[in-house]
Every structure is written in C-alpha cells, then in structure tokens.
Structure 1
Amino acid sequence: MENTDACSCVHEIAKSFANLKEREADHDLAEIYQTSLMSALIDGVYEGSVRIAELLEHGDFGLGTFNDLDGELVAFDSEVHQLREDGSARVASMDQKTPFAVMTRFRPTICGELSTALHKRDVQDIIDKLVASPNLFCAFRIDGRFEHVETRTVPRQTEPYRPMLQAIERQPVFRFEETSGTLVGFRCPPYVQGINVAGFHVHYITDDRRGGGHVLDYRLLEGKLEVAKISKLRIDLPRTVSFQQATLHSDEMSQAIEAAEG
C-alpha cells in the first residue's frame, strides 16, 4: 500500500524546489564523460588504461571502480577517493587506472535544503520530480546527516577474472550509523541500460573520509541537495582485447546489472 504521508511530503519538497530558478545555461553545457560500458564490467572486463589523472581532465565529479575491481571510486570537488573492501577510504593515486567510470563537471542547476527525514526512495522520487523527464541524465550530490547508510564494496579480483555476478557473491556489506557525509550519484534513463546503469547509481563517503562504498540503502536526516540536469553523453570505448572479446549484450544483461548494482 502506498504511503500517502510520504508521497505528500515528497510532493511538497519537490514543489518548493521548483520555485527555485534553474540556470539553464549550465544545463546546456553539462556533459557526462564515460569510459567503457557497464555491460563490459558485468562480463568481467576489469582492466582499463585510463588513469585517474586523465579522468579529472573530463570532470570534477563522478563514480566508478578501479582496475581489478579494487573498490569503489567516488569523485567530487576534483578529489578522487578509493572506497575499499574493508569499508575504509583513501585518496586515490593519480596513476591508478579504471575499467569503468563516469565523470562530469558538476554545475548544479537546482539546489535546496532537505530538512525532513527521508528514505532513499523518497529522495529518488524528489529527484525524479525535479528532473521532470525520464529521458534526461542527471548528476546529484547530497551533503548531510544520515541515520544510517548501507553500502557494499566488491573485493579485489585476480585473473582469470570471473563475471561480476560471481565476484559479488561474497561481497562485504557495511552499515554506517549516525554519520555525516556526501552522496555522489547519477540517474540515467532506462534506454542506456548496459551502456550505463539505468536508474540511480550512488556512492557514499563520510565527512572524515574514512569510510564509504556503493550505496544500497540510507535514511537521510537533513542535508543539502544539488542536482544538475545533463543531456550530453560521451563514451570512450577501450581498445583492449578483453573488451573486444566481451559479451556486451544478452537477454539476461538487465537482470545482471540490477543484481550487481542494487
């Protein structure tokens, strides 16, 4: 049964944001840069040639992973952190490489305060209403206080690489209680499933930069939401043998991505 109180709250918050003036000039300039495809990652293509320093040439905000599937990547304010399989975080080296990442120059077109406690689904509904169209991309950032954030991080893989669904069978899950931190996320249209992750893809890092991971669930107590609508996508495909030989489409691909990304 639908929670009418939650729906009303989401509607009112989205309505208050709608009164804010959008900076459409920034919207027109925004672009997502992506290296490789999500379907390649699902198939076990865990080695790329793009260095973190090169990623930062394409944006100051993003997410992804590292070679060997060695933790989660989160980037904002031109800083890149590696969220590791033990739940910890560290600053990434400029020489580390990624097999899959998404970056943008984050210029939010809508900003506002979230002063009501909200679950993940509520926040996603608000963002959907703010973007208005399911056919556009958006990047979003939330700096706030959280009652809890549940994350996971896939352990580092070694060759011969297993497909991601096998790699995540024993992935560690962490629960960060009563923390302040930053959510970095993208919402992609349904038609890019396999190219990217359709729907919401979010990573979290605590304010003390000691922990985080790929977000499974959270409850926000209060925070600042910034949203950037994006209508341009640029993709650089790897030239590696593993990518050329990968199975990049199958009838089960969508289900595999949903299982891997939560």
Structure 2
Amino acid sequence: MRTKWSAFFLALVLLLAPTAWAVRASAGDALYQYATIDALLAGVYDGNLTMDRLLTHGDFGLGTLNGLDGELVVLDGVAYHAAAGGQTDIPAGAAMTPFACVTHFTPGIVLALPAIHGLDALNAAVTARLPSKNRFYAIRIDAAFDRVRTRAIPRQTPPYAPLAEVTKQQVITDFSGPGTLVGLYSPDFVKGINVPGFHWHFLTGDRTGGGHVLGCSFASTDAHLDEIRSFALDLPDSSDFDRLDLGGDRSRELKIVEQGTSKTE
C-alpha cells in the first residue's frame, strides 16, 4: 500500500511541477526593452514594434516613436505621445517605436522625498534611498509641481542624423501643477544598452502635456518604486540595426542627449 501511495504522490508532483515552475518564473516583474540606446544615438529611428505589442509587455514606461517623433510615456496602461511643443495624444495601436522600455508596474517600495529643486537633486535623493544600485527600478512620482521643464524633438526624415545632433532641434516646454513623473533607473552595467542611472518622462495631471524631463521642482512627496530583477531585450529586425557598429563608447553623446544641448534645471 505504501508503494502504491508513494507512486501516486510522485505522479502528482511530476504533474504539478510545470505549473509550480511557471508560477515561480512569472513571479516578480521584468523590464522589457525594445532596441538599444546606442542604436538610437546612432540614428536608428525606425523600429517594427507596434504600440499594441508594446503594451502587452507592460503598462508603465517610456521611449519614442518612429522617426524620433517626440516622446513616448506609458502610464496606467495607456501610451501617450508627447509631440514637440509638449502637447500629447494617444497614438494608434499600429504606430511603431524604435526604442521603448516598459514593465507591469507593481510598486513595493515607498520613498519619502524632501522638497526637490532640480533634476540632480531628485536623482540624488532617490539614489540615496535605493536598496541596491545593481537592480532596475520603475519609479512613479505624483505631485503638484512648481515647475517641470521638458523637451521633445520634432519628427525626423531620412537620412537621419545622429541623436546628439538632432537634439539641437528640441522644443522646450515648461509645465506646472499636478502631474506624474515616469522614471526608470538602470544599473551602470547596462551601458550601451539602456541609459545608466535615471531616465525621466512627464505627463500633466490631465494627460494633455508632457515630454522628456530636463528639470523639475516640487514640494515633499512620496516616490513609489517597483524593484525589478529581470530584464528582457528584443533587438530590431532591420538592416539598419544589423549594419551598425555598436562597439564604441557613446557616453558623451548620451549625456548631451539626456540633459539637452545644455544642462537645464
């Protein structure tokens, strides 16, 4: 009888094992990324990932649209396109991106932030409270902003110039009032793949304006963080990407692009 029951339980364990593994494998979030930041810096502004497909990978994140058409902000499962000038719209599901990062946002960490005056101050305040600098974090900050300075770049046409050159065309817009910062923190070891450190986009409270953040100021509030230990990267299926030489160091170009043509707080 003992042998019979042992065989039964062994069979039951083997039957349930794939299900148990699937639960463990799906537990926790992953940061999904399409393309690499160095490819974008080099001028690969057309991808083949649609908004509909992107949103199957996450409900929170950032990126841009094909042709480097402004900024992409994904918040609460909706993709918003912030055009040059700061106005937002919701792109068609068939619209495509050359670079984007999203996750299913499930915050588990709350950081109490002091009053913030400048993007460097924000980055320093969050960095000081991170459990580890070797993980990814999705960061949401809802606040009444004294000011948020954003930029967006007008849609480009081929042949494309490198991003550090195109950034000179950026249109800067200032916002104030209720809104949301959508941020990602990536560890230093993703250099060349993503933006090491912080990358912030912004949406107004009524979702009618936004862009890439160059500076911000707001009173004390909470930052909500989703700690992410898994990273998934899809590479574009394109000859433009395949022909690139991605062996160089584009850190200087990235600094210019992230801060704008000049540092602005």
TM-score by length of 2: 0.84
1:259 aligns with 2:256: yes
CA contact (8 A) 2:111 2:129 kept: no
1:1-262 paired onto structure 2 within 5 Å: 29-111=28-110, 114=113, 116-119=114-117, 120-176=119-175, 178-251=176-249, 253-262=250-259
SS in 2 for 1:130: coil
Task: Give the partner amino acid of 1:128.
Answer: T
CA distance in 1, matches of 2:82, 2:169: 17
Q: CA deviation at 1:170?
A: 2.2
Alpha-carbon RMSD: 1.7
Q: 1:112/1:136 Cα in 2 relative to 1: closer, same or farther (>3 Å)?
A: closer
Deviations 1:211-253 (A, max 9, x none): 11100110112443200111111000011000001232313x0
SS in 1 for 2:93: coil
CA distance in 2, matches of 1:205, 1:223: 17
Q: 1:222/1:180 Cα in 2 relative to 1: closer, same or farther (>3 Å)?
A: farther
CA contact (8 A) 1:131 1:229 kept: no
SS in 2 for 1:191: helix
Structure 2 unaligned regions, length at least 5: 1-23, 260-265
CA distance in 1, matches of 2:171, 2:70: 11
CA distance in 2, matches of 1:255, 1:146: 30
CA distance in 2, matches of 1:85, 1:222: 30
CA contact (8 A) 2:85 2:172 kept: no
CA distance in 1, matches of 2:247, 2:101: 20
Runs (4+) off by over 6 Å: none
Q: CA deviation at 1:44?
A: 0.5
CA contact (8 A) 2:115 2:221 kept: no
Task: Give the partner amino acid of 1:68.
Answer: G
Q: 1:229/1:28 Cα in 2 relative to 1: closer, same or farther (>3 Å)?
A: farther
CA contact (8 A) 2:81 2:88 kept: yes
Task: Give the partner amino acid of 1:163.
Answer: P
Task: Give the partner amino acid of 1:192.
Answer: V
Structure 1 unaligned regions, length at least 5: 1-24
Q: CA deviation at 1:28?
A: 5.9
Query: Aligned residue pairs: how many?
Result: 234
CA contact (8 A) 1:182 1:204 kept: yes
SS in 2 for 1:209: coil
CA contact (8 A) 1:144 1:220 kept: yes
CA distance in 1, matches of 2:220, 2:83: 26
CA contact (8 A) 1:146 1:222 kept: no
Larger radius of gyration: 2
